[in-house]
Amino acid sequence: MTKQQANWSPYDNNGGSCVAIAGADYCVIAADTRMSTGYSILTREYSKICKLADKSVMASSGFQADVKALQKHLAARHLIYQHQHNKQMSCPAMAQLLSNTLYYKRFFPYYAFNVLGGLDSEGKGCVYTYDAVGSYERVGYSAQGSGSTLIMPFLDNQLKSPSPLLLPAQDAVTPLSELEAVDLVKTVFASATERDIYTGDKLEIVILNADGIRHEYMELRKD
């Protein structure tokens, strides 16, 4: 008798795009609010952004149940850290924790595509970009999710990040002002919405800077 094949998948792609851009003294993290399954929209108002610590904000797209579980896991670990060290986790520390958490499930991965944005200990913007099993690197900007292939080349063109191989090392953060960066993010999402069916409805933007945290929203096409 042939072995039974499963006729259900433990994974689903609930779509959406995430972007983060690091500036000299700010960081912009953005994601759309559409949640889909197959060719259906489940809801138009679902936030993919999660504030993990005072200076670390994560945006994740992919399989929503895994994303939720990952966010819960990291939030719990951060709470323990605060109890043990009486301080907030720094963004680089959270970046490492996220990588380790993802790799822990290397053989049954969290189907989550993450960008972590925040401010490092010097107050400079930092963005870390991940794959589903925890490979990560610090970059000046990144896009993940269903619209990433449409967004990333445009960001490469506009932000012209210097090669990380150069010596002496050059700053990856963009010289753009905070307002210019936010404007760029809005442009980028409006474009991705045109061609990616899983991106749209509304754009949620979180801006982290020395003054604290700020939210902005923008309507996107709903088709």
Partner 1 sequence: MATTMVKEVGSEPAQLLGPESASERTLYPYVTGTSVVALKYKDGILMAADMGASYGSTLRYKSVERMKSIGKHSLLGASGEISDFQEILHYLDELILYDNMWDDGNSLGPKEVHSYLTRVMYNRRNKFNPLWNSLVLGGVKNGQKYLGMVSMIGVNFEDNHVATGFGNHLARPILRDEWHENLSFEDGVKLLEKCMRVLLYRDRSAVNKLQIAKITEEGVTISQPYALKTFWGFSAFQNPTVGAEGSW
Residue ranges that bind partner 1, judged by CB under 8 A: 4, 6-12, 14, 35, 37, 40-43, 45-46, 63-65, 68-69, 108
Q: At what angle do helices 148-159 and 178-195 cross, to 10 degrees?
A: 150
How far is Cα 119 from Cα 135, in angstroms, rounded to an integer? 20
Shortest Å distance, C-beta 116 to partner 1: 23
Shortest Å distance, C-beta 69 to partner 1: 6
Q: Please identify, using beta-carbon distances, which residue of 43 and 121 lies nearer to partner 1.
A: 43
Q: Sign (positive/negative) of CA torsion 183, 210, 24, 96?
A: negative
Shortest Å distance, C-beta 208 to partner 1: 26
Q: Please identify, using beta-carbon distances, which residue of 20 and 74 lies nearer to partner 1.
A: 74
Shortest Å distance, C-beta 39 to partner 1: 9
State CA 40 to chain mean position distance.
Answer: 23
Q: Please identify, using beta-carbon distances, which residue of 5 and 157 lies nearer to partner 1.
A: 5
Q: Please identify, using beta-carbon distances, which residue of 73 and 124 lies nearer to partner 1.
A: 73
Q: Please identify, using beta-carbon distances, which residue of 11 and 103 lies nearer to partner 1.
A: 11
Shortest Å distance, C-beta 10 to partner 1: 5
